[in-house]
C-alpha cells in the first residue's frame, strides 16, 4: 500500500465528513497499524490532531509507548504539540506530505494564543516572554516534585528509594543527582 496516498485519502475523506484536512498513518513493515484523520471539528477536542489520535490508538492496541520500528506518515509538517508527541514515542521516521508554508494559507484558527506564524518561535521563548500567561510557584509543590523525580531516578538506577512520605528530606542523600533538573 502506498502510505502517502493513504494519508492523503484519509484527509480528503475527513473533509467530506466535515473534518479538517489532516491525517496520520502509523505503519510497521509497510503495513498500517493505526490511522486517524484530525478529529478536532468532530469532537471539539483541541488535542484531537491526527497524530495524537493515531498514536493513542497504537499505544492502546500494542501496549507500548515506544514506536521504534515504526514509520509515521502525516499530511502536514507536525505542529509543536504533535512534534512533541512524535519525539516522545520515538518512531524510526516521520514522513510529511506538505510543508508548513504550503498549507499556511489554508490554516485557520480562532484560538487566542496559537497562530501558525508563532508555532515554534513561541515555544522556544523563555516562559516569561510567552503570550500564554504562566506563573512559577516553587515552594512546597516544588519540593514534592523534586522528591518524586528523585525517586524515579533512583528506581531507574536501581538504587535505594527515597521514603515515600510527604516532606521527606533530600538532604544527606548523596546518591541523588539533581543537576539535570531545571526549574526556571
Annotated catalytic residues are 51
CB of 94 to Zn ion, least distance (A): 12
The strand ranges marked E within the chain are: 23-28, 31-37, 70-76, 93-98
Q: Count Cα atoms within 13 angstroms, Cβ side, for 135.
A: 3
- Quick check: 20 binds Zn ion (CB under 5 A)? no
Binding segment toward Zn ion, per CB under 5 A, in 4-12, 60-68, 72-80, 112-120: 72-80
| CB closer to Zn ion, 113 vs 170 | 113
What torsion, rounded to 10 degrees, do the Cα atoms 165, 167, 169, 170 define? 80
Binding span for Zn ion by CB under 5 A among 46-54, 118-126, 129-137, 158-166: 46-54
Cα–Cα separations (whole angstroms), residue 61 to 45, 55, 64, 72: 22, 10, 8, 16
Number of Cβ within a 10 Å radius of residue 116? 16
**Distance between CA atoms of residues 136 and 138, nearest Å:** 6
Q: Which of 19, 49, 58, 74 binds Zn ion (CB under 5 A)?
A: 49
Please, what is the minimum distance in Å from the beta carbon of residue 61 to Zn ion? 21
10 Å CB burial of residue 165 (0-12, 13-18, 19+) is: exposed
Q: Which of 82, 86, 89, 162 binds Zn ion (CB under 5 A)?
A: 82
Asked whether position 79 contacts Zn ion by CB under 5 A, the answer is yes
* Span of 10-18, 48-56, 148-156, 172-180 interacting with Zn ion by CB under 5 A: 48-56
Contacts with Zn ion by CB under 5 A: the residue count is 4
Rounded to the nearest whole angstrom, what is the least distance from the CB of residue 99 to Zn ion in the complex? 14
* Interface residues toward Zn ion, by CB under 5 A: 49, 79, 81-82
Amino acid at each position: 500500500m502506498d502510505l502517502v496516498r493513504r494519508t492523503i485519502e484519509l484527509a480528503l475523506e475527513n473533509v467530506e465528513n466535515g473534518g479538517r484536512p489532516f491525517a496520520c498513518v502509523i505503519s510497521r513493515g509497510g503495513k498500517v497499524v493505526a490511522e486517524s484523520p484530525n478529529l478536532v471539528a468532530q469532537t471539539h477536542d483541541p488535542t484531537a490532531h491526527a497524530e495524537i489520535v493515531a498514536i493513542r490508538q497504537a499505544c492502546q492496541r500494542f501496549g507500548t509507548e515506544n514506536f521504534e520500528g515504526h514509520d509515521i506518515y502525516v499530511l502536514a509538517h507536525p505542529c509543536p504539540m504533535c512534534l512533541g508527541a512524535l519525539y516522545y514515542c520515538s518512531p524510526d521516521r516521520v514522513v510529511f506530505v506538505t510543508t508548513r508554508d504550503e498549507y499556511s494559507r489554508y490554516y485557520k484558527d480562532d484560538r487566542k494564543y496559537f497562530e501558525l506564524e508563532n508555532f515554534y518561535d513561541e515555544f522556544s521563548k523563555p516562559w516569561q516572554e510567552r503570550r500564554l500567561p504562566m506563573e512559577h510557584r516553587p515552594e512546597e509543590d516544588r519540593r514534592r516534585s523534586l522528591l518524586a523525580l528523585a525517586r524515579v531516578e533512583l528506581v531507574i538506577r536501581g538504587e535505594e528509594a527515597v521514603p515515600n512520605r510527604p516532606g521527606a528530606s533530600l538532604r544527606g542523600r548523596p546518591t541523588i543527582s539533581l543537576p539535570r533538573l531545571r526549574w526556571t
